[in-house]
Structures are given as structure tokens and as C-alpha cells.
Amino acid sequence: MATLTTHVLDSLRGRHAAGLGVTAHRIEASGARSELFSAATDAGGRLRKTVQMKAADAGTLIEMTFHAADYFARQSGCADATGGVTDATVRFRLPDPDGACHIPVMLSPHGYSLWCSGGD
């Protein structure tokens, strides 16, 4: 099984992005999408999910979406967040169906930075 993890920092408020919604989908070669999970980050802005992958899934395109607008709308002092980034999305390939991918994210209402690394 593959492991997908993230750590999201709220750069507007200078703290962990607790309760941020995250969804992940598998995108098949045909373009068909299937949800792998939908969850929220913990109090430390972290999320760890194990997803079922088969050997034939090696190299499958994965899409993770971080739901920024919903998150910032719930934060006090973030009234200006409604006109900014709605979602931050990254697509990547998981070459090993038993591998791990860690995606750190810096998030604000008007921008984000994210990257992929090979493990926790």
C-alpha cells in the first residue's frame, strides 16, 4: 500500500493549518477519476493516509487538492480570503505502488507553495 502524507502551514497566521480539507484522486489513463480519500489535517496541520495500490498502478497519476477557500473562510480575521486561491492542487506520479510521497504546503489566501518528496 502507498502512503501519502502532507504538512500544511498557514502562512497568513503563522501556524499549522488545522482542519484543512484535503482530497486525493487517482486519474486513470482514460481520464476517469476515482477518489482515494477525503479528510482533514490534524491539529498539527498533518495528514497521513494509506491507499490501496496494485503493482499495475505504478506510475498512476495522483491528484491532491487542498481546499484553501473553505479553510480560510472558517478562520477569524480572514475576511479578505474570499477573493483569493480557492484550491491548491498538485498532480504527481507514484512510481512505486508501495512507496510514499510527502507534500509540504505553505498556504495563504492569495498564494501557495508546495513540493513533493519521496517520503515522510
Q: How far is Cα 6 from Cα 28, in angstroms, rounded to an integer?
A: 23
2-114 is classed CATH 3.40.50.300: no
Q: For the beta carbon of residue 88, count every other beta carbon within 10 angstroms.
A: 21
Beta strand 100-108 with 2-10 is parallel
Report which of residues 77 and 26 the model is more confident about: 26
Q: pTM for this structure?
A: 0.89
Give the confidence band of 120 by pLDDT, cuts at 50, 70, 90.
very low
Residues 85-114: what's their mean pLDDT? 91
What are the boundaries of each domain within the chain? 2-114
Q: Supply the pLDDT for residue 91.
A: 94
